[in-house]
Structure 1
Amino acid sequence: MKNLKYYLAAIFAFAIWGTFSLVLKPLHDYASLDILFYRVFSCAVIMSVVSLLFRRTKLKENLKIFKGFDKKNKQKVIGLNILSSILLTGNWFSFIYVMNHISVRATSVAYLVCPIITTILAFFILREKLTRLQWLSVFLSAVGCVLLSYSNLIDMVYSSVIGATYACYLIIQSTNSKFDKFLILNFHMILASFILLPFFPAYSGPIPSDFQFYLYVEIIAVMYTIVPLLLNLYALSGIASSKVGMILNINPIIAFILAGAVFHESLGLLQIISYSIIFIAVIVFNAKEIFRLKTEEAV
């Protein structure tokens, strides 16, 4: 299966994000904005140092590609990447806030809504074609989300905001295929830092003195931001946005299990049925690729 590496990249990225609550919950006593500030600033510094020390050749090559664009395309690339940074920043803040102040379950629902939005946007904006079976899986996912909204409508509102911001980010990244993934993400981190910097003096709390805070923030910056986002961008370079979007369902399924097993959030029968329907939808959406892989293994 020639696209296996892209599928594996997406699976690993979303599996990592599914365990995000394990490192974010220990920081629940800190303000959401403080976690966001230090996370983004850390990512920007780490990636910039790596780019300047080890990726200068790639940097020159990408600058040459950018300079080769006409004025209109340059403005388009800059505009879309600024928008990407805004969407990513908004997604992170809303995710951290909901995770630590609403519920782990609400964040897991967000990434159930996200694949539906991503698939629909990919169909209308990127003109990605879907089979009837794939449309059936989108319908099943929507049914699962509707069932979940009956238990808590407010959670669904929060979830929709988180899901929509990341879905839009995924769609926009399809325009960055000509550029190095690491440098693109580095650019987004730098822009996100500039977006947040004016708010830092007024909205940040006292400088944390606890070593645990910085330890968890650095783990979040590297293992839950840089690594999965790079895997995500790599996956988008080889498979359709709609497929990456549906694989994203792995994230909330893992988060849903952790919400009940680790954080002891109450899980009703309706929620279990809803997640089961969505899990089936993921299998249905990727049935063609799964069947093809099994056939190739048999041969």
Structure 2
Amino acid sequence: MRLNKYYLAAFSAFFVWGFFSLALKPLHDYPSLDILFYRVFFSVVTMLLINLSFRKKVLKKDWNHFKSMAPKQRRSVVVLTLGGGVFLSSNWFVFIYVMNHISVKAASLAYLICPILTTIFAFFILKEKLSKWQWFAVMISAFSCVLLSINHFEDIFYSLITAATYAMYLVSQRKNSELDKFLVLTIQLVFTALILLPFYPNYSGTLPTESLFYSCLLVIVVCFTIIPLFLNLYALKGINSSAVGIMIYINPIIGFLLAIFYYHEQVTTLQLFSYFLILVSIVVFNEKLIFSRKLKGAPSELEASK
């Protein structure tokens, strides 16, 4: 039963993220950069309050651990943490722009191809190996992207940029495991806020006065940033990252369904076929994990019946 709690936490995190457009779309009249400014600033304040109020022991433990590291290891942690902050903030900005100024479909597609794109980057950067089935899945996904680019080049272009920035963030953080993950995220957002702060006076619009802006932003920061991150961190305590990774597809599938049935975005037969190919590539890519689970589950059911 305890293991089920971790799966439920992972499922809940990506399920919640799937409805991100409901809080973001009402802000489509505001510049994407303004939304990024306030999302980062508000998130930093919230996360600092959480760390300083409830996680003082973790802060002290990680600070002592950081000081005890060799200079080379310490430098690596700093580079990976701050570099990750740049990739994460870039992803947030591009995602906000795509969601509000391109289409919800394009934003959903980004996170459908993100896991496979992450693996490709990991293959070339981290020298991680891919099986023949996984390479086949990559080719299926690439072919579907080519189909989607027909008469919709802008959608696929922005989807790939969004996916690439988040994929680079994930790849850069795979070796950044020395410090507490929530603390690392807090440092990354603080670093991002410090980078954005000098640009705020010249590149931000007029200070929003509408209650809609702040109510939506509060929902984005709490419901679509802090809470899902907490659930994700909790899930990783009880199940491995590959199990959590499969559930990332809950997010874009919900987003794609919202694009069709809620926002009434037009979808062609070719686009539907392309999304279907991406779903096929997802199953093929994770065939070892999916089918091994079924095989492992069978004996336990037989044992239970005895």
TM (norm. structure 2) is: 0.88
Deviation string for 1:206-226 (max 9, x for gaps)?
221222211111111122122
Quick check: which has more Rg, 1 or 2? 2
Specify the alignment match of 1:261 in structure 2.
Answer: 261
CA 138–152 in structure 1, closer or farther in 2 if over 3 Å, else same? same
Aligned residue pairs: how many?
298
Counterpart contact for 2:113–2:278, Cα < 8 Å: no
Counterpart contact for 2:144–2:274, Cα < 8 Å: yes
Q: Measure how far apart 1:8 and its partner are.
A: 5.6
What residue in structure 1 maps to residue 160 of structure 2?
A: 160
Counterpart code for 1:91? N
Match of residue 288 from structure 1 = 288
CA offsets 1:90-136 (integer angstroms, 9 cap, x no match): 11111111111111111122223322220112223334333322322
- The answer to whether 1:145 aligns with 2:145 is yes
AA at the equivalent of 2:164: A
Q: Which runs of 5+ in 2 are unaligned?
A: none
**Gapped runs of 5+ residues in structure 1?**
none
Tell me whether 67-76 or 226-235 shows the greater mean CA deviation.
226-235
Listed one character per residue, the Cα deviations across residues 123-165 of structure 1 (whole Å, up to 9, x for unaligned) are 2333433332232222222222221111311222211211111
- The answer to which of 81-90 and 202-211 deviates more is 202-211
Q: Distance in 2 between matches of 1:140 and 1:9?
A: 30
Q: CA RMSD in A?
A: 2.5
The one-character-per-residue Cα deviations of 1:33-70 (angstroms, maximum 9, x if unpaired) are: 11111111111001101101110000011111111111
Matched residues, percent identical? Answer: 51
Q: Which residue of 2 aligns with 1:205?
A: 205
What letter is aligned with 2:193? S
Using the alignment, how far apart are the partners of 2:13 and 2:122 within structure 1?
20
Instruction: Identify if the C-alpha distance between structure 1 residues 79 and 236 changes in structure 2 by more than 3 Å, giving closer, same or farther.
Output: farther
**Is 2:66 the counterpart of 1:63?**
no
> Closer, same or farther in 2 for the Cα pair 1:283/1:121, shift >3 Å?
same
Residue 181 (str. 1) matches residue 181 (str. 2): yes
CA shift in 2, pair 1:142/1:227, >3 Å = farther
- C-alpha displacement of 1:287: 2.9
Q: How does 1:20-35 map to 2 (within 5 A)?
A: 20-35=20-35
Amino acid at match of 1:256: F
TM-score by length of 1: 0.90
- TM-aligned CA distance change 1:152 to 1:270, over 3 Å: same
Report the Cα distance in structure 1 between the residues aligned to 2:10 and 2:91, rounded to whole angstroms: 19
2-side partners of 1:140 and 1:15: how far apart? 26
Q: Which residue identity is paired with 1:47?
A: M
Matched, 1:298 2:301: yes
User: Could you tell which deviates more after superposition, 1-10 or 264-273?
Assistant: 1-10
For 1:1-24, what per-residue CA distance to the aligned partner results, in whole angstroms no more than 9, with x for missing partners? 999777665544333222211110
1:177 aligns to what SS in structure 2? coil
